[in-house]
């Protein structure tokens, strides 16, 4: 048996190292949660984002864990393996979804986060999912988050024994990229520590051409700010 909760309420934050999850990290921290940041090494091309995630967590002084997941063996996406990351607007689609979609990625990430939350006694998971600027990824929509919360209500030991459930929050869901940049700036996010590019160069510079770079650059422009990261 475990004793009563000691100290602050805990939260897991899914931290990719991109600008959205960096902002969510600061949202959770500013709300007073004892934050446990979680990143995944799943064979993505943009591995430099894991270093960014580590530096972001260090900047806030929160715990950070990187888990290895063999999703590269699953395949089905242009973000891992041998395939080439498409330039913005040129992605091939399958069922109308761009090939940069990683099958079931957010389901897997939230599932592992739920396990970690059970283990450490957290009841909140933060994710940077965003429905506004994105490309129709099925697992970045409010319906998906709602369905995951219905699952978590019957999936954890504490919830099914009449105790607290684990709830996923997606505070950026209805914000545009420029609104996310405004929010992050207000909360003190150092965007120079973030990386959004799907296909960064060897020196860490962003390509400026992939869909993620184009969205990011457009967001900074609309926010009236200069993106501090280097572009090739």
Which residues lie near its own copies (CB under 8 A)? 1-2, 65, 67-71, 73-76, 92-97, 101-108, 110-112, 114-116, 118-120, 136, 138-139, 141, 143-144, 147-148, 150-151, 153-161, 163
Q: Which residues is 35 bridged to in the sheet?
A: 11
> Shortest approach of its own copies to residue 129 CB, angstroms?
12
Q: What is the C-alpha to C-alpha distance for residues 48 and 70, in angstroms, rounded to an integer?
A: 18
Q: What is the C-alpha to C-alpha distance for residues 197 and 174, in angstroms, rounded to an integer?
A: 22
* 81, 72 Cβ separation under 8 angstroms: yes
Between 6 and 202, name the residue whose CB sits nearer to its own copies. Answer: 6
Between 61 and 95, name the residue whose CB sits nearer to its own copies. Answer: 95
Q: Which residues is 98 bridged to in the sheet?
A: 93
Q: Nearest-CA neighbor of 61 among 36, 44, 82, 81?
A: 36
Between 159 and 183, name the residue whose CB sits nearer to its own copies. Answer: 159
> Shortest approach of its own copies to residue 157 CB, angstroms?
4
* 172, 23 Cβ separation under 8 angstroms: yes
Between 125 and 181, name the residue whose CB sits nearer to its own copies. Answer: 125
Q: Is 162 left (phi over 0), alpha (psi -120 to 50) or beta?
A: left
Between 76 and 204, name the residue whose CB sits nearer to its own copies. Answer: 76
Q: What are the φ/ψ torsions at residue 180 (nearest 5 degrees)?
A: -65, -40
* 100, 91 Cβ separation under 8 angstroms: yes
> Shortest approach of its own copies to residue 36 CB, angstroms?
11
- Rounded to 5°, the CA angle 194-197-200 comes to 105
> Shortest approach of its own copies to residue 103 CB, angstroms?
4
> Shortest approach of its own copies to residue 42 CB, angstroms?
10
> Shortest approach of its own copies to residue 101 CB, angstroms?
6
* 17, 52 Cβ separation under 8 angstroms: yes
Between 147 and 228, name the residue whose CB sits nearer to its own copies. Answer: 147
């Amino acid at each position: 048996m475990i004793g009563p909760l000691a100290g602050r309420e805990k939260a897991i934050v899914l931290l990719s190292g991109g600008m959205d999850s960096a902002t969510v990290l600061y949202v959770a921290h500013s709300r007073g949660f004892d934050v446990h940041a979680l990143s995944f090494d799943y064979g993505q091309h943009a591995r430099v984002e894991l270093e960014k995630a580590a530096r972001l967590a260090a900047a806030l002084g929160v715990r950070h864990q990187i888990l290895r997941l063999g999703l590269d063996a699953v395949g089905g996406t242009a973000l891992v393996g041998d395939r080439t990351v498409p330039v913005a607007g040129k992605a091939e689609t399958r069922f109308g979804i761009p090939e940069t979609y990683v099958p079931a990625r957010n389901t897997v990430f939230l599932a592992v986060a739920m396990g970690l939350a059970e283990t450490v006694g957290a009841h909140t998971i933060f994710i940077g999912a965003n429905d506004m600027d994105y490309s129709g990824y099925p697992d970045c929509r409010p319906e998906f988050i709602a369905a995951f919360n219905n699952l978590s209500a019957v999936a954890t030991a504490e919830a099914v024994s009449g105790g607290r459930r684990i709830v996923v929050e997606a505070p950026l869901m209805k914000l545009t990229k420029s609104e996310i940049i405004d929010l992050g700036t207000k909360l003190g996010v150092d965007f120079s520590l973030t990386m959004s590019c799907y296909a960064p160069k060897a020196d860490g510079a962003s390509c400026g051409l992939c869909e993620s770079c184009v969205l990011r650059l457009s967001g900074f422009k609309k926010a009236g700010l200069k993106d501090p990261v280097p572009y090739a």
